[in-house]
Amino acid sequence: MTAYDAGTSDAANPLKQMARFGQSPWLDFIQRSYTESGRLKKLVEEDGLKGVTSNPSIFQKAMGHGTDYDPQIRQILEHQIVDAGTLYETLAIQDIRAAAKVLHPVYEQTAKVDGYVSLEVSPYLARDTDATIAEARRLWLAVGAPNLMIKIPGTDEGAPAVQAAIAAGINVNVTLLFSLNAYKKVVEAHIAGLEARLSRGESVKGIASVASFFVSRIDVKIDGEIDDRIAAGDRDATALKALRGKVAIANAKLAYEYWQTVVKSPRWQKLAQAGAMPQRLLWASTSTKDKTFSDVLYVDGLIGPETVNTIPPATFDDFRDHGRVIPTLTQDVAGAHAVIGEARRLGLDLDGVTRTLVDEGVRGFEEAFDALLGAIAAKQAAFLDHKLTTTTLNLPADLDTAVKAELETWRTQGNVRRLWSKDATLWTGRDEAGWLKWLSIVDDQLLDLAKFEEFQAEVKARGFRDALLLGMGGSSLGPEVLSVTFGRHEGFPHLYVLDSTDPQQIRDFQDRIDISRTLFIVSSKSGGTLEPNILKAYFFDQAKKVLGDKAGSHFITVTDPGSHMEDVAKKDGFWKIFYGNKQIGGRYSVLSDFGMVPAAIAGLPLKRLLDSALRGEKSCAASVPPAQNPGVVLGSVLGVAARSFGRDKVTLLASPAIYDMGAWLEQLLAESTGKDGRGLIPIDGETAGPASVYGKDRVFIYLRLSEKPCEKQDAAFKTLIAAGEPVVTIELHDRYQIAEEFFRWEFATAVAGSIIGINAFNQPDVEASKIETKKITTAYNETGRLPPYEPFAKDGAFAFYADHKNAAALKGDTAEAILKAHFARGRAGDYVALLAYIDRDTATREWLQQVRLSVRDGLKLATAAEFGPRFQHSTGQAYKGGPDTGVFVQITCDDDVNLPVPGEKYTFSIVKEAQARGDLEVLGERGRRALRVHIHGDLKAGLEKLAQAIRAAV
Ligand SMILES: O=P(O)(O)OC[C@H]1O[C@](O)(CO)[C@@H](O)[C@@H]1O
Ligand SMILES: O=C[C@H](O)[C@H](O)COP(=O)(O)O
């Protein structure tokens, strides 16, 4: 018979007889089906069961396997977006409440002495007093049962938490007690907690506490030491052997002896007179681990008044079957002293053992909790199925092993929790903590949903036909993804995003919009970025021509509080000002107002987007262990591949319908990680080729939209996987899941940054180009001319520029020869970046794409195809600050069109020129391999010729 189907009740039942000696049998076990089936109740009725204890291992056994909890998990997931920790807690609380209900009659019949059910605080908090106190209060309120006991570890940090909880009137079960000294501290904490209540004039009645003294684990350790010494031929072998299986019980008896002195003390008597209940000793860890001993050793051996023994089911059955009930606890106490004295004489390290046991106990419960949360997270992902994106890893064996090792390191070091608690030492220990508000921005935005929805209705009511967003990098790329991915929504304006100083491109956008029906969004976090400022100046001027002094009513801004742009917006009477959050950097801002405001304007279903983002957030939550945490898994692959395998080219390809995700990802990855000579180099949109065109420096990311995949891409990735290339396939089951991926990639980037060992939240090298640009535009404003700038070579329509060092390395008379010399400097593992400061339209994008593919296929190097100045606010950081593996070709042209910058002498054309010069200057200063090709005259013809020259050079 097992405790699962409880036995007969009769007077001879040893479990019932325990009461005669003042001991209460509790059950060290909880499980939903056990309570629901009535078996727990049967133990109460037939065996005199008086309480229940749980711990993380017990819950892990209950919930981590089987299907007991599946219906409730499914039901919760239907209505709520939660993390694994919340899910666990919801299930656990229901179990605890159900068990507390079954035990409630005992609680009443015994006048609050027994009838308790214990729930342990998170083991992750065992070393944190304040967090333990907060958790104890939270769980106490969440369960809301008078016969609940909160389990708090009796560690050095736990003892003050015990005191605080008792003082707050919470019933406490102090767990993980092994040594007399630790127990004494806990007794003191209990008394002090009650005294605090008395001194505040509060009642001490009805506050229950037990001190869980662990037994069998001590013997396991001590007996292990004994066995080792005997095996090593110890001369005290006989004496040592005589102690096997005795030390734990002796230790417990001494604890009980101490308890007896405490309850007799005047200090306790005072509390007792005020109605306080003593903190009883509870024998825990009472299943026999060493099968050569009696299976009821730790029950038989510790029976005595005013104590509890919490017994696991099998031992419970064994004791019912053949337990012997005699008051052993108070017998032969002198013998117990002798055993402990003998152990000390023989050099058995009881103090060391108990210290180790506390550490191991905490770690063991952490491990169990990790396993439990991992199992729940896996179940959750399986049940949510296509409501979440699906990730498949195809990694070469060595990378796979290294990633798994990294995930295990993250688990054992509690790094996911450290990340969520904003521990800057995960990166460089500097200002990182101040840049992590993006972790919780989705929750804030959901609370603010009404604000966005009202704004959305207002935009609709005003009947704008177009919306033009002016901004750079983090202020424009997220909105661009939303615009490109979701297109136009009926009744809402078409959202355009302009992030260029190329006059032709500005003109193109101007031609597309109807200013009288356009809403302009000036988007700049800092408010000081050159481009949004001058673009605002230009379009405001244009708007004034059409709208007169109503121009301001067609402008809004998204900017950080207190920024220059806020002042501009106020002065010019902008319709609205939306604020960013100062603790969110630009590239992490898409789920803040920087993305949500444009999303609202474009008429996107905001709740749907935010819910998707929330799923991303919850999947990456602090409670989700690394191996089940999609953000940590992805970040580990990227970080480990770059750090340990030289695979730092993150080659991003997405299904056509979501292709623009790559533009956003580029900035996130490059600007976050590309610094201190390290980092990830994103390679976006490079059409997949045969495995033979790739070096050994790639990790491939395939963002596959399963509702609209591309057969060619599928086939190409199949080939790459078959060739053993590392491929991460992320399937989005609908487009809105880009929001889930926004969060997940932010998290993954932070993780990768930690693994690479950089600060993932600054952009130290971007500023350098801005300074150089500023110098040039200032010089222009002062002199009306650009500073002189001489090419080192010319060939027909082409003029070549570089700093001295680069120029010296690039000897040649023809474009082909110069380019050849430049490309010849590329080595395996390098990349070539084409940086085109030209109008970004369909034709030039196609040109750039074809040329980059020729370069890749010719040189077998990774290629980046970028437009300036847009990339300066994105990948530019990594080009200057990341690994020195870039070979840069800057492409500039004469501008047919020029546009004025109101209030300045310089024009857009001058700004663009200054930006190109400034950036080349900085690349040169950093010793990077950089060459500029300027196309004089007709751009189209020049591009054709340049393509030929490049093809010939590779
Ligand atoms: O939103 P802001 O402050 O105008 O900055 C735009 C972009 O420029 C950068 O600061 C780089 O220059 C990016 O980090 C940022 O996303
Ligand atoms: O409170 C109960 C304890 O967590 C439990 O008894 C520990 O038992 P173990 O040592 O068998 O794991």
Are 34 and 139 found together in one domain? yes
Q: Given a cut of 60, is residue 29 above it in pLDDT?
A: yes
What confidence score (pLDDT) does residue 6 get? 42
Burial of 811 (0-12, 13-18, 19+ CB in 10 A): exposed
What confidence score (pLDDT) does residue 768 get? 87
Does residue 285 have its Cβ closer than 6 Å to ligand 2? yes
Decide if 372 is inside a domain. no
Residue 112: CB atoms within 10 A of its CB come to 18
The first and second tokens of residue 611, run together, are 């819910």
Are 923 and 810 found together in one domain? yes
Question: Rounded mean pLDDT of 765-774?
Answer: 89
* Chain centroid offset of residue 484 CA: 28
Are 637 and 552 found together in one domain? no
Residue with the nearest Cα to atom 1 of ligand 2?
A: 284
- Which residues on neighbouring strands pair with residue 469, listed in sequence order? 497, 521
Distance (Å, whole) CA 662 – CA 864:
12
Sorted by sequence, the CB contacts under 8 Å of residue 664 that are 6+ apart come out as 477, 478, 480, 481, 590, 742
Question: Rounded mean pLDDT of 465-476?
Answer: 98
Q: Given a cut of 50, is residue 3 above it in pLDDT?
A: no
Distance (Å, whole) CA 245 – CA 248:
7
Measured between alpha carbons, how far is residue 166 from residues 132, 310, 545 in Å?
13, 21, 73
User: DSSP per residue over 708-729, as a string?
Assistant: S--HHHHHHHHHHHHTT--EEE
Distance (Å, whole) CA 918 – CA 901:
19
Task: Indicate which ligand has the atom closest to the C-alpha of 362.
Answer: 2
Does residue 147 have its Cβ closer than 6 Å to ligand 2? no
What confidence score (pLDDT) does residue 64 get? 85
Decide if 297 is inside a domain. yes
Residue 267: CB atoms within 10 A of its CB come to 12
Q: Given a cut of 80, is residue 834 above it in pLDDT?
A: yes
Are 682 and 566 found together in one domain? no
Residue with the nearest Cα to atom 11 of ligand 2?
A: 285
Are 577 and 678 found together in one domain? no
Does residue 580 have its Cβ closer than 6 Å to ligand 1? no
Decide if 383 is inside a domain. no
Cα(523) to centroid(ligand 1), Å: 10
pLDDT single digits (tens) 94-120 = 999 999 999 999 999 999 999 999 999
Are 770 and 751 found together in one domain? no
Cα(8) to centroid(ligand 2), Å: 26
The first and second tokens of residue 218, run together, are 């001590």
pLDDT single digits (tens) 224-274 = 999 999 999 999 999 999 999 999 999 999 999 999 999 999 999 999 999
- CATH number of the structural domain spanning residue 507: 3.40.50.10490
What confidence score (pLDDT) does residue 770 get? 86
- Which residues on neighbouring strands pair with residue 731, listed in sequence order? 390, 704
Question: Rounded mean pLDDT of 680-686?
Answer: 97
Distance (Å, whole) CA 550 – CA 833:
44
Decide if 609 is inside a domain. no
Q: Given a cut of 90, is residue 368 above it in pLDDT?
A: yes
Amino acid found at 211: A
Residue span of the structural domain in which 323 resides: 24-360
Distance (Å, whole) CA 10 – CA 43:
12
Give the pLDDT band of residue 4 (cuts 50, 70, 90): very low
Give the pLDDT band of residue 10 (cuts 50, 70, 90): low
Q: Given a cut of 70, is residue 206 above it in pLDDT?
A: yes
Task: Indicate which ligand has the atom closest to the C-alpha of 582.
Answer: 1
Q: Given a cut of 90, is residue 8 above it in pLDDT?
A: no
pLDDT single digits (tens) 899-944 = 999 999 999 999 999 999 999 999 999 999 999 999 999 999 999 9
Active site residue 544: no
User: Of 312, 344, 360, which residue constitutes the final position of a domain?
Assistant: 360
Give the pLDDT band of residue 65 (cuts 50, 70, 90): confident
Q: In the Cβ-directed half-sphere of 203, how many Cα atoms lie within 13 Å?
A: 5
Ligand 2 pocket test, candidate residues 214, 219, 302, 356, most atoms within 8 A of CB: 214
What confidence score (pLDDT) does residue 2 get? 41
Q: Given a cut of 90, is residue 66 above it in pLDDT?
A: no
Measured between alpha carbons, how far is residue 113 from residues 274, 328, 782 in Å?
16, 22, 88
**Residues 249 and 281 sit within 8 Å (Cβ to Cβ):** no
Sorted by sequence, the CB contacts under 8 Å of residue 634 that are 6+ apart come out as 391, 728, 730, 744, 745, 748, 751
What confidence score (pLDDT) does residue 767 get? 86
Cα(214) to centroid(ligand 2), Å: 7
pLDDT single digits (tens) 167-196 = 999 999 999 999 999 999 999 999 999 999
Are 225 and 101 found together in one domain? yes
Q: Pick the atom of ligand 1 nearest to 671's CA.
A: 14
Question: Rounded mean pLDDT of 59-68?
Answer: 89
Question: Rounded mean pLDDT of 793-817?
Answer: 96
Sorted by sequence, the CB contacts under 8 Å of residue 442 that are 6+ apart come out as 591, 610, 613, 614, 616, 617, 743
Do the bridges between strand 929-935 and strand 798-801 make them parallel or antiparallel, or are there none, so unpaired? antiparallel
What confidence score (pLDDT) does residue 264 get? 98
- Of 15-29, 38-52, 54-68, 210-224, the range with the lowest mean pLDDT is 54-68
**Residues 300 and 324 sit within 8 Å (Cβ to Cβ):** yes
**Residues 70 and 51 sit within 8 Å (Cβ to Cβ):** no
Indicate the SS3 state at residue 323: coil
Decide if 143 is inside a domain. yes
Decide if 13 is inside a domain. no
The first and second tokens of residue 466, run together, are 């177009």
Sorted by sequence, the CB contacts under 8 Å of residue 351 that are 6+ apart come out as 179
Q: Calculate what percentage of the chain has a pLDDT beyond 90.
A: 97
Task: Please tell me which residue in 41, 151, 379, 536 is annotated as part of the active site.
Answer: 151
Does residue 28 have its Cβ closer than 6 Å to ligand 2? yes
DSSP state of 312: -
Q: Given a cut of 60, is residue 672 above it in pLDDT?
A: yes
Q: Given a cut of 60, is residue 148 above it in pLDDT?
A: yes
Question: Rounded mean pLDDT of 785-792?
Answer: 95
Are 119 and 173 found together in one domain? yes
Domain count, the chain: 4
pLDDT single digits (tens) 475-518 = 999 999 999 999 999 999 999 999 999 999 999 999 999 999 99
Are 548 and 525 found together in one domain? yes
Decide if 829 is inside a domain. yes
Question: Rounded mean pLDDT of 752-761?
Answer: 98
Cα(769) to centroid(ligand 1), Å: 13
Task: Indicate which ligand has the atom closest to the C-alpha of 773.
Answer: 1
Distance (Å, whole) CA 858 – CA 571:
55
Find the angle CA(938)-CA(941)-CA(947) to the nearest 5 degrees.
Answer: 130
